[in-house]
Structure 1
Amino acid sequence: MEVSPEASSLAQGLRLVRLVADREKQGRQLLGVSQLAAELDMEQSRVSRLAQELCDLELLEREERGPFRVGRRFFALARTLNRSWVQESRAELEELVAGFGLRSRLSVRDGVRVLLLRSSSNNAALGGFAKPGMVTPVWCTGAGRALLWDHGTAELDTLLKDVNFIGVGGPAAAHSTAEVNQLMDRDRSTGYILATEEYEHDVWELAVPVRSPKGDIVASLSVLGSRLDAGRSIDEVADALQSASKRLGSSIGSPD
């Protein structure tokens, strides 16, 4: 089937926006026209025209002839697409705080990294250094391992093949893909992830995946603390997390 020029331009424009957004998100050097053309293996004149059209749409922006970054409309579009569940997560996070006094987080996966989307209001408590946009490893955090819930042995091997485990995480962190797989098998039997001192000393993280109505894992919901509140059990907190994750997942993809 022949691809129309409009469809081709759209695909190339999306690749361009994706590259600019990914580099900015990862804190890497921003690129100009010639560098973008080289990265995308496209003609420089083509990249220049597409980039200008995207700037006109305010999906990209640049100062004078400097490097490109994502524009105002890009963030407006992202807010529109995420409004039905990421915004709703705030209430769920605060409900967990009210119920258990524990820090809570909503996270997503970017390859072998976990990106924090939103954290609870008590995140400024002792040890609560996390801010939205913070990046942590996927293999030695509760939030990260919850995002790996559906990964089998072969998928874990492929994902973590280039990871350097040495010197990362807390005293109970996994030091190989095999150890990650063992931890996943252990936690799947309980229905939740319990990562104790896997990333930070004296900190445990309880986490569950958030699934879309189609069953795909799109995020993880977690709570962190140094100890459970008096009278609270791990299972009680896990039940509350599961209920919150189901409510969030049911709103993914729903109309505003």
Structure 2
Amino acid sequence: METSEVSSLAQGLRIVRIVADREKWGRSLYGVTHIAVELGMDRSRVSRLTQELCDLDLLERVDRGPFRAGPAFFSLAASLNGGWVSSSRVELQRITADLGLRGRVSVRDGARVILIRSSSDHGLSGGMMQPGMITPVWCTGSGRALLWDHSEKALQELLADVEFIGVGGPQAAHSAADVLTLMERDKPRGVVHAVEEFEHGVHELAVPLRDTAGTIVASLCVFGERREFDGRTEEIGAAIEESARRLSQPG
């Protein structure tokens, strides 16, 4: 692939991402001019690339209005909704049935954690959490499991601009160094144990989910009140580690 083609592909992907992100988070949608300003690109080039993206159905617009994600974007996303993403529904149901706890599967976007699937039993604690919910990466069990492979340097860089004060529960970390200390404490156990790090009275146990190459792609977490974990931490930890192993297996 020639350099000019690589550049066009990269710029096209940036445009698709900014359009999809604004729609996903419910922000005002962008036209050509706003996209050009946001990405620091020439307006005429944005106009040409967005037209090509619309021709491919990756983007769409009505009556020359703002851009939205197009049908091909959603078809592509649906084709990727397999493997651990699909299987996680069964594992969360298993966790609820076997452990009586709610579970959730999350992914990381920078210093944010995005909930993508949660247990469906709304009779259990934590029923208000919905897919798409955003939480901090540094003070949640789900988030800290996503940091499992981060070195001290990588962790410092990721959290360099984070505002720790006023966020999280009574046991939340207040610096990158605090997060590192918590990670070093939890790694010998094999699971993240977050106690009141995000919400008062809430305990979380979490493990990373890995793809077949061993890269962390998501986290699996269970959470509940202290009484639900008393005397069961090892049992619960072993159960979610086994769930994570099943989700990491190909097919």
The answer for the alignment partner of 1:38 in structure 2 is 37
CA distance in 2, matches of 1:195, 1:62: 44
Matches within 5 A, 1:34-113: 34-113=33-112
Q: In structure 2, give the amino acid aligned to 1:214.
A: A
CA distance in 2, matches of 1:231, 1:214: 35
Q: Does 1:118 align with 2:117?
A: yes
- Deviation sequence 1:81-113 (CA, Å, 0-9, x none): 122221111001100001011000000000000
Matches within 5 A, 1:226-241: 226-227=225-226, 229=228, 233-241=232-240
Shift of 1:246: 1.2
Q: In structure 1, give the amino acid aligned to 2:217.
A: V
Shift of 1:148: 0.4
Deviates more, 1:200-209 or 1:78-87: 78-87
Structure 2 unaligned segments of length 5 or more: list them. none
- Deviation sequence 1:183-214 (CA, Å, 0-9, x none): 11101111100111110111111100001111
Distance 1:230-1:16 versus aligned 2 partners, 3 A rule: closer
Shift of 1:151: 1.0
* SS in structure 1 of the partner of residue 117 of structure 2: strand
Contact conserved, 1:100 with 1:229, CA < 8 A, in 2? no
CA distance in 2, matches of 1:211, 1:28: 32
CA distance in 1, matches of 2:24, 2:47: 22
CA distance in 2, matches of 1:113, 1:231: 29
Deviates more, 1:132-141 or 1:51-60: 51-60
Q: Normalising by structure 2, what TM-score?
A: 0.93
CA distance in 1, matches of 2:137, 2:59: 30
CA distance in 2, matches of 1:233, 1:224: 12
* SS in structure 1 of the partner of residue 189 of structure 2: coil
Q: Normalising by structure 1, what TM-score?
A: 0.91
* SS in structure 1 of the partner of residue 177 of structure 2: helix
Distance 1:55-1:215 versus aligned 2 partners, 3 A rule: same
CA distance in 2, matches of 1:37, 1:170: 40
CA distance in 1, matches of 2:87, 2:114: 18
* SS in structure 2 of the partner of residue 155 of structure 1: helix
Aligned CA-pair RMSD:
1.9
Contact conserved, 1:170 with 1:200, CA < 8 A, in 2? yes
* SS in structure 1 of the partner of residue 53 of structure 2: helix
The answer for the alignment partner of 2:241 in structure 1 is 242
CA distance in 2, matches of 1:133, 1:231: 30
Deviates more, 1:222-231 or 1:108-117: 222-231
- Identity across aligned pairs (percent)? 58
Shift of 1:4: 5.4
The answer for the alignment partner of 1:218 in structure 2 is 217
CA distance in 2, matches of 1:73, 1:206: 38
Deviates more, 1:236-245 or 1:76-85: 76-85
Shift of 1:247: 1.2
* SS in structure 1 of the partner of residue 79 of structure 2: helix
Contact conserved, 2:102 with 2:126, CA < 8 A, in 1? no
Q: In structure 2, give the amino acid aligned to 1:250.
A: Q
The answer for the alignment partner of 1:166 in structure 2 is 165
Q: In structure 2, give the amino acid aligned to 1:33.
A: V
Shift of 1:31: 1.4
Shift of 1:41: 2.6
CA distance in 1, matches of 2:98, 2:183: 27
Q: In structure 1, give the amino acid aligned to 2:76.
A: L
Deviates more, 1:222-231 or 1:164-173: 222-231
Contact conserved, 1:123 with 1:130, CA < 8 A, in 2? no
Contact conserved, 1:147 with 1:217, CA < 8 A, in 2? yes
